[in-house]
Amino acid sequence: MDRNKKIYIAGHKGMAGSAIWRKLSGVGYTNLLGRTSGELNLRDSLAVNRFFEEESPEVVILAAAKVGGIWANNEFPYEFLMHNLQIQNNVIDAAHSYGVKKFIFLGSSCIYPKHSPQPIKEEYLLTGELEPTNQWYALAKIAGIKACQALRRQYQKDFVCLMPTNLYGPGDNFDLQTSHVLPAMIRKFQEAKNQDHAPVKLWGTGSPRREFMHVDDLASAVLFSLEHKLEESIYNVGTGKDLRIAELAALIQQITGHQGEIIWDHSNPDGTPRKLLDVQKLKNKGWQAEIDLEEGIKQIYKWYQESVG
């Protein structure tokens, strides 16, 4: 791909979007375009269309979304459904209307059924019921995937959907009510350590298995997708490895230096029993994740101490 092409990264200030921006600028892409939510409200269709008319991006990467953990999804189902639908519909339709040549849509592994066979293949989409705690977000993302697939089928558009596993990295959300499990654990263990190694209470039983990928690996997958022709409409992006939540807690406890007790609160839900992506399809094309989980957590813990904690 010509590295002078105008590339619009929607959500360029978020964790995923900023990692993609760093990756592309780091390898020589010189014409990157971004707007903050204050500068461009992606839920406003008129504003989005005006932006596309004025800027005429040739490539669009949609990394903008309303995201959060189990608590946030449970508490704000309407916003997680409607806001994400509005963002996606406006950006996808404008990209189609204004002749965008290549479009990369970032989804989520939560699009797959709660009880999918493991590891989860792309073709398991819409083969069973969703996990109830995040179905609103998942439904919105599924709608985005189907819109991209429809454009590929009807107009032969080069619109590709990447489904990342659970992400972590610089710029993550450490708010205990709205964050995902890994950054929430880092904050909880660090704060408990600062309080004379007080006990740490964690949700559920610790038995579910989860896969975690550093956001810089997602950025490298986006770069790969930009620079290669991908024949399929949807690709999983992950490490192909998972661990129990209890193992994750023990690893973060060790990295942070917390020496107190871990208490598992069984009154709160575990969520999906296991969620491991089958990443063979993109691996066969020549891409795979590279950042080791322990090393990645050490990096984000250092970032947290310097930037947040």
**pLDDT score of 121 more than 80:** yes
Note if 235 is an active site residue: no
Residue 20 covered by a domain: yes
Comparing CA positions, the residue from 180, 187, 192, 172 lying closest to residue 71 is 180
Mean pLDDT for 88-117 is 96
Q: Report if residue 285 sits inside a domain.
A: yes
pLDDT digits (tens, 9 = 90+) for 33-79: 999 999 999 999 999 999 999 999 999 999 999 988 778 888 999 99
Identify the weakest region by mean pLDDT among 7-11, 71-75, 179-183, 228-232: 71-75
CATH number of the domain residue 155 falls in: 3.40.50.720
User: What residue numbers bound the domain in which 103 lies?
Assistant: 7-172+211-241+275-291
Selected catalytic residue, list 8, 29, 112, 137: 137
pLDDT band at 192 (very low <50, low <70, confident <90, very high): very high
- Residue 64 in any domain: the answer is yes
Q: Does residue 168 form part of some domain?
A: yes
289 is in an annotated binding site: no
Tokens of 74: 């449970």
Q: Which pLDDT does position 309 carry in this prediction? A: 64
Evaluate whether residue 247 is within a structural domain: no
Whether residue 231 is contained in a domain is answered as: yes
Annotated binding residue 166? yes
Q: For all residues of the chain together, what is the average pLDDT?
A: 96
Q: DSSP per residue over the chain, as a string?
A: --TTS-EEEETTTSHHHHHHHHHHHHTT---EE---TTT--TT-HHHHHHHHHHH--SEEEE-------HHHHHH-HHHHHHHHHHHHHHHHHHHHHTT-SEEEEE--GGGS-TT--SSBPGGGTTSSPPPGGGHHHHHHHHHHHHHHHHHHHHH--EEEEEEE-EEE-TT----TTTS-HHHHHHHHHHHHHHTTS--EEEES-S--EE-EEEHHHHHHHHHHHHHS---SSEEEES-S--EEHHHHHHHHHHHHT--S-EEEETTS---SSEE-B--HHHHHHT------HHHHHHHHHHHHHHHT-
Q: Is 12 assigned a ligand-binding role in the annotation?
A: yes
Residue 102 annotated as binding?
no
Does a structural domain hold residue 128? Answer: yes
Quick one: average pLDDT of 205-217?
Answer: 97
Q: How many domains does the chain have?
A: 1
Global confidence as pTM: 0.95
Q: Is 13 annotated as a binding residue?
A: yes
List the one residue out of 213, 215, 214, 231 whose CA is nearest residue 282: 231
Annotation-wise, does 286 bind a ligand?
A: no
Segment 247-273 shows an average pLDDT of: 93
251 lies in some domain: no
Task: Please give the share of the chain, as a percent, with pLDDT higher than 70.
Answer: 100
